[in-house]
A and B are shown apart, each in its own frame.
Chain A
Amino acid sequence: MDLLFQFLSNTGYYLADYRNVIMIVVGSVFLYLGTAKHYEPLLLVPIGFGILVGNVPFFKGFGLGIYENNSVLHYLYFGVVTGLYPSIIFLGLGAMTDFSSLLARPVLMLLGAAAQMGIFFTLLGALALGFLPKEAASIAIIGGADGPTSIFLTAKLAPHLIGPIAIAAYSYMALIPVIQPPIMRLLTTRKERLIHMAELRLVSKKERIIFPAVGLFLCCFLAPASIPLLGTFFFGNFLKECGVTDRLAQTARTAIIDTATIFLGITVGASTQGDVFLTTKSVGIFFLGAVAFSIATASGVIFAKIMNFFLKDKINPLLGAAGVSAVPGSAREVHLVGQSEDPENYLLMHAMACNSSGVIGSAICAGILWSFLVGF
């Protein structure tokens, strides 16, 4: 009988507290949004299930939890805390990205730069709310709307915040269809939303091959701390474009990125153990994450409007919202908002140009913030 009672007292049902229950509800919401609503399912499903796994109560000391040495989850989490998974994901992203539209209209890259302003505004906001500089920088990078970049920088500067920051970043990425369209509509007139973009010129293969090398030299020499992200990103793109490594590029954009995404998703989800995750800091992070994301969207749109004062060929200001690096969610949203005004307005390719420059921009920002704060 004692043995039975001892066993029962070690079960999850006995050990559960309200924080585990809250997090299990959060995980279920993620799974629901991913599976039923199709909001970023490739991210939300692994993270959502990871939240469920991480919040099964267990007897501490058995080497089961993600924060316990020698547990399986702890080993898998190694890829997160070292920044390994984000780096691998960037390799796959590079192998997927077609820079043709950006090369055809390089001016759109400025929108990717403008949208990074959300990061620096949020840095100030987080400092003002009492976060320490390294924590503030990790929170601010949510404004880049890039999950792997957020995780990478947080792993380097404030590893204790990886869970809430990753969850906030991916939540807002999944909520792009909810967050971005009202801001886009608020900041643009109907006339502006109806602007058609000029047809893009054809980009030669040579240009596409040279671009990753040029990008690597310019960006990584400027912010060497972004090498782990941009180095693999441009390498992946070179594999895709050079024409002689199709097999490698194919593996990078399928098996490799998928494997890294699965492990990153489930371990980040599992890192949200109720007792670690549910703190007032997490609430602050979620609030600041929403601010960062909104400012990033708004600054892209506003900058596009400013550019129109100087450009002969006007650009559709909606494209500014795609300057955040949520690929391809924000580009798709820009396209849909444009089409809701005029079904013959095709903004997708142009928005993808802004999106890919946003990826480069947010990775540079991560490198800059890391180098600013490495000695703090």
Chain B
Amino acid sequence: MYGLKAISIYNGWAMAFAGALIVFSGLVVLSLVISQLHKVLMFFEKKSAAVQSCPEIPVVEPSEDGFGCLLPEPFPADLNEIVELYTPLVETLGESFCLSELYEILRKNNFPHPHLTLTALRESKILIPDGDGVFTWNPPTEHDDNKLDEG
């Protein structure tokens, strides 16, 4: 048996329609649930934080390589200052590296606002994409420094 007749006899239309509907609704529900997951977790975290009547002020311990304690809390406005702080870290990663690796190091060393800083470095061509998600570090030269200062 062939053609539309075969589809009808074997209940093909119903199978295709119901199958598509089930898989779609299943994944829609899953995506809805996971989109709310972080909010639910945050709610419980806030709740447990509120239970602690007198929270201790966290003391930022300097990390092993000592970068953690050098940094100012607000987002550093001066790009030269950022470059100066980041260069020793980047050197530990080698010539080419993934942003995720750099991000991980920044987070471990309690650098403030790593996302914003990495974006700023990319925009100012200090982090240069090499393709395939790999980046190289291109700190500004003295001439560039002047330009950055002017900027």
Contact = CB atoms under 8 A, between A and B. Distances in A.
B133 A346 contact: yes
Contact of A124 (B13, B28, B32, B34): B13
B2 A128 contact: yes
Contacts of B31: 106-107, 109-110, 357
A361 B27 contact: yes
Given A117-B20, A120-B19, A128-B6, A110 B37 contact: no
A211 to B, nearest CB: 6
B33 A218 contact: yes
Interface residues of A, number: 51
Nearest to A201: B38
B41 interface: yes
A339 B131 CA distance: 9
Contacts, number: 125
State the majority secondary structure of interface residues on A: helix
State the majority secondary structure of interface residues on B: helix
Contacts of B129: 343-344, 346
B131 to A, nearest CB: 7
Given A128-B12, A210-B37, A210-B41, 11 more contacts: A106-B32, A106-B35, A109-B31, A109-B34, A124-B7, A128-B4, A130-B1, A214-B30, A218-B30, A343-B129, A364-B27
27 contacts: A103-B37, A110-B27, A110-B28, A113-B24, A113-B27, A114-B24, A116-B20, A116-B24, A117-B20, A119-B19, A123-B16, A123-B19, A128-B12, A132-B10, A133-B10, A206-B41, A210-B41, A219-B26, A219-B30, A222-B22, A223-B22, A344-B129, A348-B133, A360-B30, A364-B23, A368-B23, A372-B18
Interface of A: 102-103, 106-107, 109-110, 112-114, 116-117, 119-121, 123-124, 127-130, 132-133, 136-137, 199, 202-204, 206-207, 210-211, 214-215, 218-219, 222-223, 339, 343-344, 346, 348, 357, 360-361, 364-365, 368-369, 372
Interface of B: 1-4, 6-7, 10-13, 15-20, 22-24, 26-35, 37-38, 41, 115, 119, 129, 131, 133
